[in-house]
Amino acid sequence: MSGDLLQTKLYIPPIRPSLVPRPHLIAKLKAGLAGKLTLVSAPAGFGKTTLVSEWIADCERPFAWLSLDERDSDLTHFLTYLIAAIQTIAPTAGERTAALLASPNLPPTDAVLTALLNEMSAVPQEMALVLDDYHVVDARPIDAALTFLLDHLPPQLHLVITTREDPNLPLSRLRVRGQLTEIRAADLRFTLAETAVFLHQVTGLELSPAEIAALETRTEGWIAGLQLAALSMQGRGDVHSFIEAFAGDNRFIVDYLVDEVLQRQPQHIQRFLLQTAILNRLNGSLCTAVTHQEASSDLLEELERSNLFVIPLDDRRQWYRYHHLFADVLQARLMKERPEELPGLHQRASAWYEQNDFTADAVQHALAAQDFEGAARMIELAWAEMDRSRQSAIWLRWAKKLPDELIRVRPVLSVGCAWAFLDAGELEAAEGRLRDAEQCLEAPAGWVIADEEEFEYLPGSIASARTYHALALGDMPGTVSYARQALGLLPKEEHLRRGTPAALLGLAFWAEGNLIEAKQAFAEAMTSYQKAGNILFVITGAYVLAEMALAQGHLREAIKICEEALQLAQAHGEIAMRGAADLYTELSELHFEQNNLAAAKENLRQSKALGEETPLPRWRYRWHLAQAHIQEAAGNLGDALDSLNEAERHYVRGPVPDVRSVAALQARIWVRQGRLSEAQQWVTDQGLSDGDDLSYLREFDHITLARILIARYRHDGTERTIREAMALLERLLPAAKAAGRTRSVLEILTLQALAHEAKGDTPAAFERLEKALALAEPEGFVRLFVGEGAPMEKLLTKMQDEYGLSETEGMKGYIPKLHAAFSQQNDFLPASRTPQPLFEPLSERELEVLQLVAQGFSNREIAERLFLALPTVKGHNRNIYSKLQVNRRTEAVARARELGIL
């Protein structure tokens, strides 16, 4: 980090003599030091930072200060700055943790936090740490890290947070335990007496009680509004008339006050304020570039001395910002009075940012200036690097703001757009941009090229994109044709560019069920990426290799692939870790196959923490699928269906074959719930039958059909259904065996055993089950059998008692392991609750939602905490109201407590 930036962030605002002493608040803050957390939460302009600064001046305990901004939403940066802040008091505290954060092999977050807590515990002195403007940090991993720190906070450390909105921290728990001190807007509002003191100190006027009351009433004690009023009244002869006018519409009042303040400034100051209102941060060089006013640094210092809502960001007075509300009003005034200046101001800001390598800011200001030519040039030049670091979603948001006709004459930009659309699953839009690029190459007149290097390889890039597009649409001949074309166009030494069509060929083989060639081709593509130095692509591809290995029945190999890729990611730092979320999701699924549900849950938790920070396009879809499997194993079938609905909502079309569709997974849960009519409707909707032509992409659907047929036979004893199931399984088995799809073979054999047992043919059931066990034991598959529930447990026990099993050493240990897994299954089922005195009891998920409602969380907050869509939460609320026979949240909570449910 730069020294200037660090000084900016650790700078404690200067302590000015208080105009209005607030001893009751200072006393409350001091008393709160006995707890863990002080939260100062109120809207802008309520004096949060001023109050905390006054407290620091009046407190014997040393304070560290960390000013936050939007750039601090990265967990590693946040922890680095947090340690630097603490070191302003205890210089050696956190040194080891800082070294961990700076190392390329970054340990798991919990390990880093534990190391930091251990170092803090060794500091003997008491201290407090202020996190100022926490609301600007929008990152779940940081919320989770602070929660962990608060849970284990050493007694000598106290945390203070100032914020405009409540943080996503366990405030209710801290409140109940008496570890939280809260200062809210109601506490910070000036009383009538405080308003009188403040106005007298600022204006020096002897205002009547009625005039003071009018100002206090209209501002509701809002300190910033009172300050604006005081500034506007200075030097006026018609104070009474001003106060009468102040009692009008609130928005008009604020505009009027700011107008009065601005109009009393010299013209060059007014011009400077308005012209620089477009900037989030100010320094002399940037302001000079934007305003063409020399000595901008001096002007910024003058604004600060005049209390014109300019806040210094470092003690060297180099960087500043405007008070947020003041900036908003300045921008509104600029747009109203000088709209013709906006394009030029934004263009000059864009030029400064581009010259100083702030690409994102440069693009945003160019777009705001409607300098689409300049924006297009910068966006085109940014594509290659942003694509290689998996930031195509951000890039696409920029590109979508460009006029269509401008993109069409830029073939490199068009292909970048096509790739970004492909990543987002917008296949039709991608097709249009590819046609634009191809037409440019056919008729070269009027081309505009910014990135000459990308243009050199454009035909190969187009062919690669066509490969992706064809595969996503299921066009296998087209996929192979375009992939070969791309590989023919791209030089052999271009490992990165050649890796993509090679990887897509591997995916095409996978979609056809040819796993051996698929793994070989995809592994070669990953080797190309590694030779090119793009470790992120290697890591994001590892989960695909693991899925292929799992389909082959190589469970242990799949786990090894993920673990080695995670080690590679940790060794290469932050950018490489962007692909780790998918790896943790895949590890969750693999541990689930081993019935290690604790490890499955932990990996899914780590996936969530990483994925929320830098989500890749299909991560949420995969995460919800894994969550559904764990919920199903725990017996929470309704929750599992919710998660599958969420997965479907986040589904993005792409080249990775959809070999286990959400719809089929839903049908399987309906079978477990006994909802056979709905499962059968799925069969009808899919047009499935036992006589269909077989293909790998429909293999999972056909196995699901066999499950439904067996369940129908168990339900009504119809001979036709069991015959159809057994005939279908007999056809599926040799196809899966021939292609080496051992995971499918295992499931087919298991279902055959259950079908024969249901038919009463025990010897045939034993024969099929023994084959499945012999295949599953070397790789450690457990969930495959345990997931079949009581019928499989009974068959396994009966087989062991009546038929005996292989006496191999592996099988001797494997069978007891399966029995133990069956006996432990109840440990993962929901704990039994007191019976609910309702005709239709609340589900586990509904109880979870109701508990959060009782704690005061909004629907949106509940959705975020439970990782659900907002409509899903609202649906749960409707179910809760219906079952409790109430109409509102408060009634639901009261009724639930009355019935002993809460």
3-class SS of residue 158: strand
Using an 8 Å Cβ cutoff, are 329 and 258 in contact? yes
pLDDT digits (tens, 9 = 90+) for 249-280: 335 445 644 665 677 678 888 899 999 999 98
Q: What is the pLDDT of residue 833?
A: 47
Q: Sorting pLDDT into bands at 50, 70 and 90, what band is 422?
A: very high
Residue 234 pLDDT exceeds 80: no
Higher pLDDT, 265 or 751: 751
φ, ψ for residue 776, nearest 5 deg: -80, -30
Using an 8 Å Cβ cutoff, are 765 and 753 in contact? yes
Burial class (CB in 10 A: 0-12, 13-18, 19+), 412: buried
Q: How far apart are CA 836 and CA 842, in angstroms?
A: 8
Residues 6+ apart with CB under 8 A from 518: 506, 507, 508, 509, 510, 548
Specify which residues 856 forms β-bridges with. none
Q: Out of 644-648, 691-695, 878-882, pick the least confident.
A: 878-882
Q: How far apart are CA 132 and CA 828, in angstroms?
A: 42
Q: Out of 255-269, 487-501, 639-653, 823-837, pick the least confident.
A: 823-837
Distance from the first to the final alpha carbon of the chain? 49
Residues 6+ apart with CB under 8 A from 355: none
Cα distances (Å, whole numbers) of residue 599 to 482, 556, 602, 630, 807? 41, 15, 5, 11, 30
Read off the tokens for 496.
């990165």
Residue 728 pLDDT exceeds 90: yes
Residue 363 pLDDT exceeds 80: yes
797 C-beta neighbours (distance < 10 Å), count: 14
Q: How far apart are CA 141 and CA 496, in angstroms?
A: 31
Q: What is the pLDDT of residue 769?
A: 94
CA R_g for the chain: 33
Give the strand order in the sheet containing 282-283: 282-283, 319-322, 310-312
Handedness of CA 63, 69, 73, 77 (dihedral sign): negative
**Could you give the maximum distance between any two Cα atoms of the chain, in Å?**
107
Average pLDDT for the chain: 86
| DSSP at 97 | H
Burial class (CB in 10 A: 0-12, 13-18, 19+), 299: buried
Residue 784 pLDDT exceeds 60: yes
Read off the tokens for 746.
């295992």
Q: How far apart are CA 290 and CA 342, in angstroms?
A: 11
The pairing of strands 157-163 and 319-322 is: unpaired
pLDDT digits (tens, 9 = 90+) for 126-183: 999 999 989 888 788 899 999 999 999 999 999 999 987 788 898 988 998 899 999 9
The single residue listed with the structure tokens 């990996």 is 603
Cα distances (Å, whole numbers) of residue 883 to 40, 842, 862, 892, 893? 39, 7, 20, 10, 12
Q: How far apart are CA 749 and CA 222, in angstroms?
A: 72
Burial class (CB in 10 A: 0-12, 13-18, 19+), 776: buried
pLDDT digits (tens, 9 = 90+) for 200-223: 777 777 777 878 887 887 677 777
Please choose, from the candidates 755, 746, 757, the residue with its C-alpha nearest in 3D space to the C-alpha of residue 780: 746
The pairing of strands 319-322 and 282-283 is: antiparallel
Residue 232 pLDDT exceeds 50: yes
Q: What is the pLDDT of residue 250?
A: 37
Q: Could you tell me where the DSSP H helices lie in 23-139?
A: 23-32, 48-57, 75-86, 95-102, 109-121
Q: What is the pLDDT of residue 652?
A: 86
Q: Which residues of 637-650 are buried (b: 16+ CB within 10 A; e: fewer)?
A: bbbbbbbbbbbbeb
Read off the tokens for 257.
């006050």
Q: What is the pLDDT of residue 248?
A: 36
Q: How far apart are CA 415 and CA 844, in angstroms?
A: 48
Q: What is the pLDDT of residue 711?
A: 92
Residue 229 pLDDT exceeds 80: no
Please state the separation of Cα 400 from the chain's center in Å. Answer: 22
Q: Out of 267-271, 275-279, 466-470, 689-693, pick the least confident.
A: 267-271
Please choose, from the candidates 170, 174, 167, 85, the residue with its C-alpha nearest in 3D space to the C-alpha of residue 133: 167
The pairing of strands 282-283 and 180-184 is: unpaired
Using an 8 Å Cβ cutoff, are 559 and 590 in contact? yes
Q: How far apart are CA 409 and CA 680, in angstroms?
A: 52
H-run or E-run covering 319: strand 319-322
Q: What is the pLDDT of residue 900?
A: 74
Task: Give the amino acid at 388.
Answer: R
Q: Which residues of 125-139 are buried (b: 16+ CB within 10 A; e: fewer)?
A: eebbbbbbbbebbeb
pLDDT digits (tens, 9 = 90+) for 513-555: 999 999 999 999 999 998 988 888 899 899 999 999 999 999 9
Specify which residues 39 forms β-bridges with. 161, 182
Q: What is the pLDDT of residue 252?
A: 41
The pairing of strands 63-67 and 127-132 is: parallel
Residues 6+ apart with CB under 8 A from 485: 463, 466
Using an 8 Å Cβ cutoff, are 313 and 321 in contact? yes
Q: How far apart are CA 157 and CA 127, in angstroms?
A: 5
Please state the separation of Cα 334 from the chain's center in Å. Answer: 36
Task: Give the amino acid at 302.
Answer: E
Q: Out of 202-211, 406-415, 417-426, 520-529, pick the least confident.
A: 202-211
Cα distances (Å, whole numbers) of residue 866 to 572, 810, 857? 32, 41, 12
pLDDT digits (tens, 9 = 90+) for 272-322: 999 999 998 898 999 999 999 888 888 888 777 655 667 777 767 788 888
Handedness of CA 865, 869, 873, 876 (dihedral sign): negative
Q: What is the pLDDT of residue 566?
A: 93
Q: How far apart are CA 871 and CA 860, in angstroms?
A: 9
Read off the tokens for 138.
């929008």
Three-class HEC string of 159-183: EEEEECCCCCCCHHHHHHCCCEEEE
Residue 809 pLDDT exceeds 70: no
Highest mean pLDDT among 21-35, 214-228, 546-560, 870-884 belongs to: 546-560
Q: How far apart are CA 733 and CA 742, in angstroms?
A: 10
Higher pLDDT, 11 or 841: 841
Q: What is the pLDDT of residue 249?
A: 37
Q: What is the pLDDT of residue 11?
A: 62
Residue 453 pLDDT exceeds 60: yes
Using an 8 Å Cβ cutoff, are 157 and 120 in contact? yes
Q: What is the pLDDT of residue 778?
A: 93
Q: What's the rounded mean pLDDT across residues 732-743? A: 96
Q: Out of 12-16, 56-60, 98-102, 819-823, pick the least confident.
A: 12-16
Q: How far apart are CA 442 and CA 438, in angstroms?
A: 6
Q: What is the pLDDT of residue 808?
A: 52
Residue 42 pLDDT exceeds 90: no
3-class SS of residue 140: helix
Q: What is the pLDDT of residue 368?
A: 93
Q: How far apart are CA 500 and CA 593, in angstroms?
A: 30
Q: How far apart are CA 544 and CA 252, in angstroms?
A: 59
Read off the tokens for 490.
């791209």
Q: What is the pLDDT of residue 195?
A: 85
Indicate the Cα dihedral angle 362, 365, 367, 373, nearest 10°: -50
Q: What's the rounded mean pLDDT across residues 193-199? A: 85
